[in-house]
Chains A and B, each alone.
Chain A
Amino acid sequence: THYAITLHRSAIGLPDKTSRTLEALGIHRRMQTVYHRFSPDIAGKILAVKELVQVRNVPASAVRTPEEARNERRAVRGYEVV
């Protein structure tokens, strides 16, 4: 139900329209992943920057806000004696 859009190539040196499309998608830096619900306007934006971006189709359960994604990456405190 959602696109997971990750920016792999930057828009530096490309026409302003391209970087404004990335801004409209909510992407600010390389390797940032952004989630958007399926819709024709988002599809059009992805296709406008298809050379810069990688897309996966994910279910709604896989959508993470930036804070949730950061907490998942964080190391768990404490240790175990094996």
Chain B
Amino acid sequence: MFGPFRSSAVALGGLVWKSPWRLSPTRKANQRLRLKRVDSVIEAVAASGVQCKALVQALALPKQDEMPAKDKYTTFNRTSRGFRKGVHKVPKFTRLSLRENPQGF
């Protein structure tokens, strides 16, 4: 009766939880902003002059302007056709770093 999965006629019609296969231009723009914000955090830590392994690994990640569009808006998925799926299909993708994918995919 309450909660997200109410069995109403509208919900059972199968149209309420549609999700497009790709990101819209707005979502892509927001994704780019998020990547820039993470880049600025890594930059700030690097500018502070400390040395640690986490920083070495973070600096090895590609920056937002160096990433191809394929890596910004899709991620590797072993069960998808083409071995890629939209990054928005990953739970909590707005709070995760998904910059690197297996080589060749």
Query: Binary interface profile of A, 6-41, with partner B (CB < 8 Å = 1, else 0)?
Result: 000101011000000000000000000000001111
Instruction: Decide if A47 is an interface residue (CB 8 Å cutoff).
Output: yes
Instruction: Decide if B7 is an interface residue (CB 8 Å cutoff).
Output: no
B97 touching A46, Cβ below 8 Å = no
A3 touching B44, Cβ below 8 Å = yes
- Bound complex: CA of A40 vs CA of B48, how far in Å? 10
Q: Which of A9, A13, A50, A55 has the most CB of B within 10 A?
A: A50
Please give, as numbers and ranges, the residues of chain A lying within 8 Å of B92 by CB-CB distance. Answer: 13-14
* Interface residue tally for chain B (C-beta within 8 Å): 25
A13-B92, A14-B95, A57-B47 known; A50 and B42 CB under 8 Å?
A: yes
B97 touching A43, Cβ below 8 Å = no
* Interface residue tally for chain A (C-beta within 8 Å): 22
A27 to chain B, nearest CB (A): 14
B38 touching A50, Cβ below 8 Å = yes
Main secondary structure of the interface of A (DSSP, over half): mixed
Stretch at the interface among B12-20, B23-31, B49-57, B70-78: B49-57
Please give, as numbers and ranges, the residues of chain B lying within 8 Å of A66 by CB-CB distance. Answer: none
A71 to chain B, nearest CB (A): 27
A13-B92, A47-B58 known; A40 and B42 CB under 8 Å?
A: no
